[in-house]
Each structure stands twice: as structure tokens, then as C-alpha cells.
Structure 1
Amino acid sequence: MSTDQLPPVFQPLLPEDPREVGGYRLYARLGAGGMGRVYLSYTPGGRPVALKVVRPEFAEDGEFRRRFAQEVTNAQRIHGLYTAQVIDSGLDAASPWLVTAYVPGPSLQQVVREQGALPVRTVLLLVGGIAEALQAIHGVGVVHRDLKPANVLVAADGPRVIDFGIARAADATALTGTGFRIGSPAFMSPEQAQGRPVTEATDVFALGALAAYVAGGTPPFGEGPETAVLYRVVHEQPDLGAVPDEGLRALLERCLAKAPGDRPTPAAIIAAARSHPAVGGELRFADDWLPARVGTEITRRSDLPRTPPTPLPVPPAVPPMPTVPATAPSFAAPVPAPQVGPVAPPVGAFGPPQPPLQAPAGPAPHPFAAPAAFDTRAPAAPVRRGVSWKALLAVAVAAAVAGTVAGVWLMKDSGAGNGTAGGRGATTGAAGASPSGGKGPAAAPASSPAAAPSGSPGTDTGGTGTHWTEVYSGRELASPSYTYVFDLSSGKVVAASVSPSWALEPTYGHFNWSSSSDVYFTKQAELTPAQCTTGIEQEPLTEMKYDDLPVGRLFCVRNRENGGVVIGRVLEQGNGSTGAVKVSLSYYRNDA
């Protein structure tokens, strides 16, 4: 992958992102994960830091807060040279946050995905540095519990282990049973997979699996459904055939022993790595310890933005309602006529919700309410006998026009609601139905009306009386790994670091989804937006496992903020080890 094809390291702040957290001014997004979002900021003295804000789902859990505070306190005592130092925290904030030193380098996961397996010398240096980080972590009584390639950053002077102890706090909450698995199956130890107590040896097993992945390019317990990977972790021996060096392979076999007592200590791992001929008896992170292309990526991440993001434009205030002239106190202000023509989409229909406009002083009139003819309120001033004929004429004309338009609006809506030719459009069919005959996951049944043309309004006859507009249809999208997500608003696959506001996130063995969404799936051959809404109201899901989503299975995601619905069909069943999955998506905007 060429440099100009790489996604930007520093993503701009989105409207829903805070501009300041705990006195730290935010400059850009660095990424997002199962625990929260990460932003770039600076200390008062100008040193760059990474600030992580915990997801609302965790922030609302009292047990998580208690454990998070305990683990952060422990993490602040860790001072290893191969760990990202914890600098500050906000444990009592509405959304707890944590500040660590910024590391200008990619994760090992990104390096292997983009560059492939690394040389044996590089792997040995990584193993020695990570083992030293584990010594510092274990020295204060903390077990990492989620050591994996995504949690090891690569800097010019060696690796940095991040997120130590935070997984332990999440592991104590009820959220781990609702789509949040703590620990990655491909790098879990047998005791962790079986729910038994974890120890320092648990992290040694994870280090062995991580090193095997970095040296060979594939996980030592293979890929596939999450349950299959976990079975192999517990019952089968690792496949280290892709590890090219015999001495390194022997060290990793010891780290991946099934019994915790048979695994070496971090000190023994450092000694074994140092004695390997490939490093010449010394573990030194010289300028050539990484492939040149990785060094280029580190340089790219060192070019930090130092200009605060441009503030969002302030939305214009709602203009005040016209007042009734003092010369005609007996007439109320004319009611605005309902809008004729296409209805503007609800806020957030095509992306993240925008800042709300200034609230009007009173409730807005119902769009179908008849215009008020008289104002029953007592006048604030003595009534004048004479009335300007111009004022009377203007009020009468406005009232007549409003009544006429309201009548036409009611007639049009009545025609649309009962399915007559004067309705707003045809019925939306099953997910992926294409009126142009284009390729999609499923075609509309011959007995059903034709699907509405893309971008045109349609009426769903599923019993809800809701109007739907097809935004896109039959988009075939493939996520190569859990580091990419489906942006439901745009119908695209984007890097997880982009953190779209409405997303479906492939991960190990299941899907995650945005906190403002609801999901549902069906075994039926057809699924409309109205059926999706009904299904969510009757059978909302707390998780969507790949094992429950074979090829052809229909599912849907509803956006609570704007009522939009994305209907999907599984084209290739998800891979539990990598998170890879292929789906077809169709988005219907709710115009109600």
C-alpha cells in the first residue's frame, strides 16, 4: 500500500465529539475501540498525549466505575520504559477519561496487516521489550488480560504496551454478556477462555501468541468462528509452522504451554531472546531494528497537528414569529402554511446529528391544524374602534391560503396512506431490491409492488403508515478485518479509527453497533423497514453472533435518533478470528 493510499492518522473532530475534556483541549481523533474513543491533546507544557474517553455503556455501570478507578490508580504506578505512561485521569466525570503519553507509531496489528510478517531479529527485539513491559506491569500487581497486536504500539525506540488493567475493570461488569467480550480469542490463554482465574502467566501465553502472529503472519490457533478458535486454544497444540526460525519457535512453544506453571517468566523470555544469534547477544533498538516502510509510518505519525480545530459554525437563531398589529387585536397571527414539495430529511439522516437550533419560544403548530380564526386572549391595551383595511385584507388572504394548502395536503396524504395512485410512491420491497435490475442480495417477490426508485419517496405498507425514502440499495460491502467498520449513513467500509456516528462493527465472532441503534434479524426471506421496526419493538437483540448469521440471513439496524433503517443480508459469514465479513446493505430514510 502506497503512502498516498494510507488513511490519515489524525481524524477531524466530529460534531458529537467534545472540544475539551478535563481541561485538555482536543485536537483530533486518534481512533476508537470497544472501550472508548481516543483523542490527541497536549499537556500545558506542550507534550502530546492520548486522551481516552470511556464509552457511555461502561460509564453507566457502577461496578465498572469502581473497578476502573482501582485499575487506573494501579496503572499510574507503572513506570516501565516499554509502557505508555498514565499521566492523568477523570474518574468521577460523567464519562470517565484517561490520559497517557502519545506514542508516534502504528500498532503491531497495523504493521502486520500492511507489511506482512516481520524479520526474526525484529520479532526477538519486540519479544524482549514486551516482556520487560510485563515485568513493570506485574510488578505493581496488575495483569494485562488483553495483550494483543492492537495493544502494542511500535515506536522508533521500541514497543509500547497500552491499555493495561483497563480490560480487568470491564471484565467485572454485566456488559461483557451483551456484545462486549474482554480479550481476543486468538490471543487468549486456555484458563481465560474457560473462565478460570488469570495470573501473570496469562499474559505470557498472550505474548507467545502475539509473537507467533508477528513472525508468521497468521495466528497460532488458526482462524474461523470464535467458538472454534477458543476450542483449539484449550484443546489443541499451536500451529507454528509459519514461524521461520527454529530457536524462536522453541521459545514460543514454551510460552504457549497449556498449563500456566509450564510457561517461562518474563525474565526468562528476555534472557532467551538476548541469547539468540540473530541479535548478537544484545537487545538494542538501533535505527535499523524495523523495516524501512514501518519507519516511514512512524515519521508520518510524528507530524502532529498543533492548530486547534476550527470551531463549528454557530447555527442561525430561529427568527421570531410575527406579532399581531396593535390595530387588529381581535385576529390571531396567521398560522404558517405546511411546506409543499419534498420534505427535508430529519437531522442526522445522512450523517452525524448537527447541533440543535435555538428552541422556539412555544410549541410549533400541528402541520394539519386548521388556522386559528380568533384570539381569545384578553387584549393588552384598550381596543381601538377603527381597523386598518390593509391589515384586515392581509390577514384574510393569509388565512385563506393556509386553509387551502392544508386541504390539499390532507388529500395527498390520504391518497398515499391508502395506496391509491395519488400516493407518494410504491412499496419498498425486501432488502437489496433494485428497480433497475441491478445486483442485490434479494429481488422483490413478483407479487409485491415494485421497489421505489433510489432517492425517491415511497410508502411502506407494513401497517405503520410511515414514509420511507431509499437512500442506497444493494451495496455489497466487505470488511477485511475487525479494524474496519460499516458506515451505515454513507454505505461504505471505513477504518475503525474514523469512528462514524452510525456504524456496524465487525469483531471477533459477532457484530457491535452504535449505542444509539437497535438491531433485529429474521429467518424469513423478506424484511421491510416496517417489519424491522416491528421486530425491534417485539424482539430487540442484545448481540448478533456470526454463528447465528449464515449466508443469506437478513438483519436490520435502526437509528434511534432519526428512525432510519438499514437492512442487510449476509453474503459471506463472518470470520471469528479476523472479524472479516461481507454483507449487502440497503438504507431507508424515515420521512415521518
Structure 2
Amino acid sequence: MDGQRPGGEGDMGDRGDRAAAHFEALGPDDPGTVAGYRLSARLGAGGMGKVYLSHTPGGRPVAIKVIRPEFAEDPEFRRRFAQEIRSAQRVQGLYTAPVIDADTDGPHPWLATAYVPGPSLAAAVAAHGPLPVETVLLLVAGIAEALQVIHGAGIVHRDLKPSNVLLAADGPRVIDFGIAHAADATSLTGSGVFVGTPAFMAPEQAAGRGVGPATDVFALGQVAAYAAVGAPPFGEGPSHGVLYRIVHEQPELSDVPPRLTELVTRCLAKDPADRPSVAEVIALCRTANDATSLRRPEDWLPAAVTAEISARSAAPAPDLTPPPPAHPPTAMAATAGGAAPYAPTVQGTGQAPQGPPPAPQQPPAAQPAYPAVGPYAPSRFGTPPPMHPQMSGQPLPFQPQQSVPGPQGRKRGPAVVAAALVLAVVGGTAVYGLVKDKGGDSGAASSASGGTVGGGAGNGGTRADGSKPATGSDRPDPTPSDYKGVNLTAGYHLTLGEDPLRPQKGEDGGYELSYDTGGYLDAEGQGGSLVLLDPGQQGSLATCRAETRFTDNVYVNKLGTGRQVCVTTGTGHLGLVTVRGISPEDSPSTYLTLDVTVWRNGAAGSASR
């Protein structure tokens, strides 16, 4: 969707009139609340849904993005959307708008990001014309820094374009990273509906080939040219014509300022291998700035754009009256009767709850449980962002207001949980359980365990002599199983509990390790994770147990011969993958040749599995 883009520019009179022009009143088809967030105004709409302004109970503005019903009805979209949101919540950069809350399982999927009081690059250029060269250099360097963080989380944006770049007083903000991936495999896009703007696609994207970080670099070159010239470098018009020019013709760069020519030209190379990395993009910006440091002044934008930022900062005040009582759906799950918004809790608003209390035999409804400190609403979906640590200790997806089991089966009430949360934040330390859930079929992940009983030390339960294996600190390390020269083809997966270890067809479905056709190794099984070891770092059972630089996927362009990846599965197995080769360009198939060592039930804490 087109981020936090407003629906219209309106009259640029006094500040109040300008502010009103950027915030549309809610219409009869717009909801009044979304999962306890009372909506104040409509910010815009795009290919994937509508965007609304709301506020946290502390008054911090947030942008609520509600996904279109057509996508919400597609199970594959929901699965990928959940996966991408989990990845996006790990992105915490100076030039990104953090994802702070989401619901991917409800009748109307949505996500909440920090509100950025500034126009999109598309709106700014349309209203005020091309930007000065110095502004473009700072813009591109900021976007490149955002891409470094996004790619570091294992995400390819796929839809970087001017409407997904917001201009704030202290620099750009990149939004909607990774969301286009969720729509790639839906029936809508399969039938020819584009998500995103064809004018800003890369050649490999337009041709339906695999995408990677270099895809975003190509889009960044197009964004740079657009900001400097006011038009996309491959022109406009019918989508098929634009896509043909992107794949087969050279861009029109005659109007690009000379200081930007090298930067834009290198980013727009047809071959992804010829494009600069995002780090090289920043260096090119520095070179174009006469090799001096890029320093972002307060007035880095033209005065007319700065005036728009001031207008958008005057967002409509939050409505403090509680929403009408409703039957609340369980968070992250649809109710049988459909979608009914629910009111924030007493803890969140200071208001007494309305409506009859739930029946005693029913657990409390899952509602936003806001901490006493901190500007953001806690995410009810997956691991909270590192910038806003919170305590959950619950398997994903968790229910924020339900009682948490304590020692000896006792239960802590909501007040105790809230008190613990405040102490954790004030003390500067937060401890929370990280339970990864890639949104795949949990049944598939469970069946992959092979029915291990007793947490055996490598042989899955009882030894051959009938004795029970040791547990805890006395449990011996499992015997490794080595598999040499495994050819893992793109679109296939491995299940570490299987012996012999053989690739099976399928890349999406809760698998423990798959080679996604998007160009990355993927650990999507429930509780699974990957760690890319540093070059020269020697992998071992001890190394893989100790490493905590977890990610969900590792792109192949980061791998070379000898590079190693630790794989931890939700079923308690641990593996070490060593890259021995990558398929040549003229190969009829795309594959990785791997040596795989598996320690079955060797993951830390697997003795109880």
C-alpha cells in the first residue's frame, strides 16, 4: 500500500487549513476503531489497503494500515503477511518507520507503524517539483542506510518507490518493507494485478525471476532519478510498455544532474551483479558531495516541503471517549461471528470498561495492554521490537491480557504482570521468551520431529540396551550425522530429523530448512532459526549452541564456498550447513551443494522435548 500518503493536498492557507487538507474525515465505509485503536482520520489508500491515523493511549500518533478484503481472503497472503510482519518487527533503523503492532489472523488484517509527519516523496515532487542535488544526495544516503537495516533482517523491500519514502524533518523514512512479498503468490497477483508501481521495478522483477537486495538498489536508482528530475527514468504509460523498457532499454537520464549521473547509472545496471551494494551507494553519495561528510541540516528540504511537515505535525487530536462496547474477538484470531472492534483496557485508557464482564469460565479477552511507560503500544504479534522491550513468556501468537502461569501452576493476574513490566522497563532490562513462528503449518512442524520421546541424546529416546539416556547437564552430546554433497534445489526443503537426509519438494509449509526461489535459505518451521557464521568462523555443536544472532533467512548472495550456517529446528535438532558450491549460471536448475552435519535433539534445552 502507499504507506502514510495523504489522500489530497488541499488548500495551502494557514497552518490549520493546511493540516485539514492532509487528513481526510472518516467516511461511512471506514471503521471507527481497529482492535481498540480509535481512528482519527484517513491518511490515504493504496493497492493493498487503507491507512488511518490513530493514537496510543499516551497520545503518540500511529498509522494503522488495514489490508484490503481481497487479500485478507487469500490464505497464502495471510501466511506470508504474518511471516513478513515478524521480520519487519526486527527492523529498527533511523530511517525506517517501525512496525509496533499487528494482527494477521483476524477478519481484517492490519498493522500499526509509527506515524511520520511528512509528505511522501511522490507527493512532494508532484506538488513542488524536483529536489535540489544536495537534498537528493542526503535522501539517497538515508534510504541506503534504511536498506542496510532492512536487508540485515533478511527482508527485500520489493516495492521501493517514491510513495513508500516519507520526508521527515530529520531525514527520509522507508515504509512498507517486505509487505509486497506477501502478495506475490496470491491469486490476485497471479491473475495479473500489480502490487506496487511497475515504473519502479527491477528487470529481474519484471521478468518474474528471483529478487534480492540488488533489486532494491535498482529501485533506489529510479527513486534518485525521480527525485532529481520529477519523472521516472523509464517513462510512464501502460504497464506492459514500462516493463518492456525496464527489461530491454536504457533509462532516460539526460536531465539527471551531472553530480548524480554515476550514482544513478550504476544503480540502474541491468545485471544485478553490476549494481553497487548499499554501502557503495552511500560512498557514491559522499563522492558526489565532493568527498565531504554528508551532514543533514535541519533545513535539508526545500522550504515548501518543510512547511508541509509543519502542517502534518498538527494531526487531529485523539478522541479520548471510549469506543462503544462490543464483543471483542480474540487477538490474532477471527471470531465466529465476524469482526467487531473492541475497546482498550482500563490500563490503556484510564477509563472504566463498558459492557458486561465476561463469563467466569471464559478467559479475559485479549486486548492491547499498554505499559505504564514508553510511547508505543506493545505488539500483540510475535517478538516485540528491541527498542520497546516487553515481557511475554508466551508462545506465539500470545494473548496479552490472559493470566500467565507461574511456579507450581499458580497464575499471575494482570496487575502482577503489569508491575513486572514496569520494573523491567525502569530497570533498563527486559527478559522475554523468543518463540519463532513463521506462520507455517504447525502440524507439519510437529510431524517433522519423528515422534521423539524422552529427549534422547542423539537416538531419540531409549538406548539399544534398554537404559534411559541421561538428561540435563549430565546428558552426553549427541553423535553427529554427516551428509556430504547434498544438492538442495530452489523450491525444495530439508527435514533434519530424517535419515537419510534427502531434499523434498516444497519451500513454504513450516519446513525446517528450505531453499526459497526468492534466493534465500529459510527456516520457517515453528521455533526454527538460522545463524550465519562469520567468514572463517569454524562451526561446531558448541558454536551453534552458543550463537544467538538469529534470523529467519539467509540470502544466497551472502554465501560463498566454505561459508557455514547453523540451523536450529523447533523439534530440537541442530544442524551445521557448509556451502560447497552454487549452481553455475548456465545450469538448467538453481541449487546449492551442501555438507550438512546434524545433531539430533542437540539444540540447547532439547532434553525435555
TM-score by length of 1: 0.51
- Could you report, residue by residue, the CA deviation over 1:213-241 in whole angstroms, capped at 9, with x for unpaired residues? 11011211112222111111011111111
Q: What is the CA-CA distance between 1:172 and the residue it aligns to?
A: 1.5
| Corresponding residue to 2:91 among 54, 75, 78 | 78
Match of 1:82, SS state, is: coil
CA distance in 2, matches of 1:52, 1:218: 28
1:22-33 matches, cutoff 5 A: 22-33=35-46
Q: What is the CA-CA distance between 1:305 and the residue it aligns to?
A: 1.0
Which residue of structure 2 aligns with residue 268 of structure 1? 280
CA distance in 2, matches of 1:33, 1:217: 21
Letter in 2 for 1:302: S
Match of 1:81, SS state, is: coil
Deviating 4+ runs (over 6 angstroms)? 309-313
Q: 1:23 to 1:307 in 2, by over 3 A?
A: closer
Which residue of structure 2 aligns with residue 301 of structure 1? 312
Letter in 1 for 2:280: A
1:141-290 matches, cutoff 5 A: 141-178=154-191, 180-244=193-257, 246-277=258-289, 281-290=292-301
Letter in 1 for 2:319: P
CA distance in 1, matches of 2:253, 2:58: 47
1:435-584 matches, cutoff 5 A: none
CA contact (8 A) 2:66 2:110 kept: yes
Q: What is the CA-CA distance between 1:178 and the residue it aligns to?
A: 4.3
CA contact (8 A) 2:218 2:269 kept: yes
1:50-61 matches, cutoff 5 A: 50-61=63-74
CA distance in 1, matches of 2:40, 2:194: 30
Match of 1:3, SS state, is: coil
Which residue of structure 1 aligns with residue 596 of structure 2? none
Letter in 2 for 1:82: Y
- Could you report, residue by residue, the CA deviation over 1:450-472 in whole angstroms, capped at 9, with x for unpaired residues? xxxxxxxxxxxxxxxxxxxxxxx
Q: Does residue 3 in structure 1 map to residue 12 in structure 2?
A: yes
Letter in 2 for 1:115: H
| Corresponding residue to 1:44 among 39, 43, 57 | 57
Which residue of structure 1 aligns with residue 143 of structure 2? 130
Match of 1:8, SS state, is: helix
CA contact (8 A) 2:184 2:190 kept: no
List gaps (5 residues or longer) in structure 1: 314-592
CA distance in 1, matches of 2:30, 2:144: 36
CA contact (8 A) 2:266 2:274 kept: yes
1:420-431 matches, cutoff 5 A: none
CA distance in 2, matches of 1:310, 1:33: 30
CA distance in 2, matches of 1:215, 1:309: 43
Letter in 2 for 1:287: E
Q: What is the CA-CA distance between 1:181 and the residue it aligns to?
A: 0.3
CA distance in 2, matches of 1:100, 1:271: 30
CA contact (8 A) 1:12 1:309 kept: no
CA distance in 1, matches of 2:100, 2:239: 36
Q: What is the CA-CA distance between 1:13 and the residue it aligns to?
A: 1.2
Match of 1:159, SS state, is: strand
CA contact (8 A) 1:201 1:260 kept: yes
The RMSD of aligned alpha carbons is 2.0
Match of 1:15, SS state, is: coil
CA distance in 2, matches of 1:247, 1:37: 38
Which residue of structure 2 aligns with residue 105 of structure 1? 118
CA contact (8 A) 2:33 2:323 kept: no
Match of 2:245, SS state, is: helix
Q: What is the CA-CA distance between 1:276 and the residue it aligns to?
A: 2.3
- Could you report, residue by residue, the CA deviation over 1:287-345 in whole angstroms, capped at 9, with x for unpaired residues? 221000000000000001114299999xxxxxxxxxxxxxxxxxxxxxxxxxxxxxxxx
Match of 2:166, SS state, is: strand
TM-score by length of 2: 0.49
Q: Does residue 139 in structure 1 map to residue 152 in structure 2?
A: yes
CA contact (8 A) 1:40 1:50 kept: yes
- Could you report, residue by residue, the CA deviation over 1:256-275 in whole angstroms, capped at 9, with x for unpaired residues? 00000000000011111123
Match of 1:99, SS state, is: strand
Which residue of structure 2 aligns with residue 390 of structure 1? none
Which residue of structure 2 aligns with residue 522 of structure 1? none
Match of 2:53, SS state, is: strand
CA contact (8 A) 2:134 2:289 kept: no
Q: Percent identity?
A: 65
CA distance in 2, matches of 1:81, 1:204: 19
Q: 1:22 to 1:311 in 2, by over 3 A?
A: closer
Q: 1:198 to 1:294 in 2, by over 3 A?
A: same
Q: 1:88 to 1:27 in 2, by over 3 A?
A: same
CA contact (8 A) 1:74 1:142 kept: yes
Match of 2:22, SS state, is: coil
Task: Give 1 or 2 for the bigger CA radius of gyration.
Answer: 1
- Could you report, residue by residue, the CA deviation over 1:503-545 in whole angstroms, capped at 9, with x for unpaired residues? xxxxxxxxxxxxxxxxxxxxxxxxxxxxxxxxxxxxxxxxxxx
Which residue of structure 2 aligns with residue 356 of structure 1? none
CA distance in 1, matches of 2:225, 2:174: 17
1:368-447 matches, cutoff 5 A: none
CA contact (8 A) 2:47 2:196 kept: no
Match of 1:26, SS state, is: strand
Aligned residues: 311
- Could you report, residue by residue, the CA deviation over 1:369-398 in whole angstroms, capped at 9, with x for unpaired residues? xxxxxxxxxxxxxxxxxxxxxxxxxxxxxx
Letter in 1 for 2:223: L
Letter in 2 for 1:292: A
Which residue of structure 1 aligns with residue 332 of structure 2? none
CA distance in 2, matches of 1:76, 1:224: 36
CA distance in 2, matches of 1:116, 1:190: 27
